[in-house]
Amino acid sequence: MKLFYSPGACSLSPNIVAHEAGINLRLQKVDLKTKTIETEGDFFAINPKGYVPALQLENGEVLTEGPVIVQYLADLKPESGLAPRAGTMERYRLQEILGYVNSELHKTYTPLFRPNTPPEVQAERREHLLERYALIDQQLQGRQYLLGERFSVADAYLFTVTTWAAKVKVDLSKFGNLHAFQERVSARPAVVAALKAEGLTK
């Protein structure tokens, strides 16, 4: 399988999950400005949406949208425990938090990366992120990870988007549980390996 990614983008999340599950993905780097693949040309031919991640399966089918891809990868290796069994309340809780990270955190960062976003909009988006992270910090109280003591695909997603905060001047220093979570996740061998694979660390 091929994972189309951009270093440090949300595609880092499925990359982490694959490393956690022991799934070997062939990484295909995408230039998001030109929408070109480093080795194969036009990225729109792979994903008409034009953004990462995209996962090309062995049969040629392509999955898009990070929350879907991480669940697909987890289900390939159920013994990894990265996602609760389908149909259980625990699985719905996983999907609940994936949806929250996707809509309330991930998409709120988007305008902060655009140089033409007006200052007042930037300020409002930063305030929105702080409000949403407050709930995450509460959920992490007394827990190692979002769903309890076991690392899940939701943790890979939260970790990934939260690494963006410093780049766009979102001050998360008051969230002690979140800070401890980021430190904990960053030390996981699979996370270290994924960051290295994307050229983000040596």
202 is a domain residue: no
The pLDDT score that the predictor gives to residue 39 is: 74
> Do residues 72 and 132 share a domain?
no
Number of domains in the chain: 2
> Do residues 98 and 184 share a domain?
yes
The pLDDT score that the predictor gives to residue 28 is: 96
| Neighbour count for residue 181 (Cβ, 10 Å) | 23
H/E element holding 139?
A: helix 119-139
CA separation for the pair 196, 189 (Å, rounded): 11
153 is a domain residue: yes
| Neighbour count for residue 25 (Cβ, 10 Å) | 20
Look at the pTM and tell me if it is higher than 0.85: yes
Task: Identify the band that residue 45 occupies on the pLDDT scale cut at 50, 70 and 90.
Answer: very high
DSSP character string of 68-100: HHHHHHHHH-GGG-SSPPTTSHHHHHHHHHHHH
> Do residues 93 and 116 share a domain?
yes
Task: Identify the band that residue 117 occupies on the pLDDT scale cut at 50, 70 and 90.
Answer: very high
Provide mean pLDDT across the span 177-201. Answer: 97
Instruction: Quote the strand ranges of the chain, DSSP E.
Output: 2-5, 26-31, 36-37, 41-42, 54-56, 62-64
pLDDT at 155 over 80: yes
> Do residues 173 and 97 share a domain?
yes
> Do residues 96 and 39 share a domain?
no
The pLDDT score that the predictor gives to residue 202 is: 81
The pLDDT score that the predictor gives to residue 143 is: 97
| Residue 86 backbone phi and psi in degrees, to 5 | -60, 140
Closest CA to 104 of 144, 72, 135: 135
CA separation for the pair 95, 75 (Å, rounded): 14
Closest CA to 77 of 156, 12, 17: 17
> Do residues 109 and 23 share a domain?
no
| Residue 54 backbone phi and psi in degrees, to 5 | -135, 135
> Do residues 102 and 179 share a domain?
yes
Q: For residue 117, what is the domain's CATH number?
A: 1.20.1050.10
Instruction: Quick: pLDDT tens for 66-87.
Output: 999 999 999 999 999 999 999 9
- Dihedral over Cα of 16, 24, 63, 35: its sign: positive
Percentage with pLDDT > 90 across the chain: 98
> Do residues 130 and 173 share a domain?
yes
CA separation for the pair 38, 104 (Å, rounded): 31
184 is a domain residue: yes
126 is a domain residue: yes
pLDDT at 29 over 90: yes
Tokens linked to 193: 């390996």
Task: Identify the band that residue 132 occupies on the pLDDT scale cut at 50, 70 and 90.
Answer: very high
Instruction: Quick: pLDDT tens for 50-62.
Output: 999 999 999 999 9
Q: For residue 21, what is the domain's CATH number?
A: 3.40.30.10
> Which residue's structure tokens are 């390939």?
76
Reported as half-sphere exposure (CB side, CA atoms, 13 A), residue 50 has a value of: 4
Give the range of the structural domain holding residue 136, as residue numbers without chain letter. Answer: 89-188
30 is a domain residue: yes
As a whole number, the mean pLDDT across the chain is: 97
140 is a domain residue: yes
> Do residues 109 and 61 share a domain?
no
pLDDT at 19 over 90: yes
> Do residues 107 and 181 share a domain?
yes
The pLDDT score that the predictor gives to residue 144 is: 97
> Do residues 64 and 124 share a domain?
no
Tokens linked to 178: 């979140």
The pLDDT score that the predictor gives to residue 107 is: 97
CA separation for the pair 181, 146 (Å, rounded): 9
> Do residues 76 and 107 share a domain?
no
CA separation for the pair 141, 181 (Å, rounded): 10
